[in-house]
Every structure is written in C-alpha cells, then in structure tokens.
Amino acid sequence: MNEQDESLMRYIIASLGENTTGPVLFDVNSTQFVRVNLVILKGLLLEKKLNGLFISVDRPHQYMVHLMRMHQIGLDHLMFLDAIGRFSADNKICNAGASFVDAPFHIDTLPAAINSMGTDKLNLNACGFAMIDNLAAMLPYNSFASVQSFLKMFVEVMTSRGNTIVPLVVDSERCGPLYEAAKSLAVKEIDCRADAIAKATSSMGSMRTVEIRKISGSRFAEGGR
C-alpha cells in the first residue's frame, strides 16, 4: 500500500474509535470500493487485530485474496463466504478458507449460510467484524425491498452474537435509496469521499478534523439493540 492508502487506513481506524460496534456506514465512491475494502480489511485485521468474515457478492473471493497477499495482509483470521464464485470463470483454487452459496440471486439464503459457518470454519461468537464487498451488486438480481430486508437481517445476525463491527460500504451519490436504508441501521457514518479524506488526513495530528457523523434515532445508537 502507498502512503495515501496508509493515511486512509489511519483515518478509518481513528473514525471508528476504540469502542464502536454494530453497523458502520462508509460513504465511498463506487470506483473506490475495492481499494477501500482492502484498507478496511487491513485496519481491522492488523491494527485492531480482529477475526472477520468477508462476503463477496460482486467479485469472486479469489480476487480479494490475491490483493491481500500482494499487500502482505495475512488471511489466518479471515473467513470468506463467496456468493458469486460459482458463476465466475475464475475457478482458481486458493488456500483461503471459503464457503460458497447461491447468492446474489438468492440473498435470502445468506443469513442461514452465515449461521451454518459457526461450527468448524468460523466461530461467529469470536467474529470481530463482517462485511460485504458491494451491497449494490445485489440490486440487479433482487428487488430493492428484498435487499433492504436482507440488509436488516444480516446486521441482526452479525450483531446478535457480540460486539461485531459491520462495515456497510455504499455510494451515496449512485445508490441513494440503498444508502438511506443502510443509514437507518448504522450507529456511525464515515465519509470516505476524496474531499473528506483529504481534509482529515492533512491534519491527522488533530482528530477534530475527522468527519464522523453520528446518526440519531438508530435502534443501535446509545447501546440500544
């Protein structure tokens, strides 16, 4: 990772703070999803030293595995749930632990698949974070109502077992309704658009410059679940 990526990681970790749990909404330009996902993974795995679950619905999990290895981010504490790999021409076998499901065409199967992972492959009670690579990628295959319902169910499944961080990466400008649906669930909103990152990282010595928008009225806010 270059210095810009390292600065972005520091910005994200500072924005999360020490005790944040539950769904956290990241406002990200869709062209930057892969980069921001990788930076979030590095921050949560290496800086916060959490175990995690990464669900791929946009690109096969091998793609993220390749990037993580290229940037020397260990895979030992990350489990993959691949919802697109069965439909991809990329059938390379990798050593990263991965399970496969038939989403994004049947996203209603994802929560059950996550629960079924809680035995031999991933202890969900010890899962510090869970994230999906691109929530908007489910929209071409499912109604908005179905995606909205899934999003709520996914958050509930992951937060019902403990202090799990659930990063929700959405582009507010391209997917306004989805962004608002995620915002209604989130405890915190982190602006990862270029202007906000530039402003924050230009003076990281003062955390007052980090733009974190607390969301009022969330049922997860103030510890209410």
Each residue of 195-225: pLDDT tens digit? 877 776 665 544 444 445 556 555 555 555 4
pLDDT of res. 204: 54
Residue 198, domain member (yes or no): yes
Please give the pLDDT value at position 64.
Answer: 87
Domain hosting residue 54, numbered range:
3-9+22-223
CATH number of the domain encompassing residue 177 = 3.40.50.300
Q: What is the pTM of this model?
A: 0.81
Residue 14 lies in a domain: no
Question: Does the residue 17 lie in any domain?
Answer: no
What is the count of structural domains for the chain?
Answer: 1
Residue 178 falls within a domain, yes or no? yes
Asked whether residue 15 is assigned to any structural domain, the reply reads no
Task: Encode burial over 94-126: b for 16+ CB neighbours within 10 A, e otherwise.
Answer: eebbbbbbebbeebeebeebbeebeeeebebee
| Residue 65, domain member (yes or no) | yes
Among candidate residues 172, 210, 187, the one with its CA nearest the CA of residue 20: 187
Query: Is residue 61, in this structure, part of any structural domain at all?
Result: yes
- Residue-wise pLDDT for 136-194, tens only, equals 999 998 899 999 999 999 999 889 877 899 999 999 999 999 999 999 999 999 999 98
Q: Where are the alpha helices (DSSP H) in the chain?
A: 3-16, 33-42, 61-70, 110-116, 144-159, 176-183, 194-201
Q: For 90-128, write each residue's pLDDT tens digit.
A: 444 444 455 555 554 567 667 776 776 655 556 777 889
- pLDDT interval class at 80 (50, 70, 90): confident
Residue type at 104 in one-letter notation: P
Q: Is residue 16 in some structural domain?
A: no
CA 26 – CA 129 distance, rounded (Å): 14
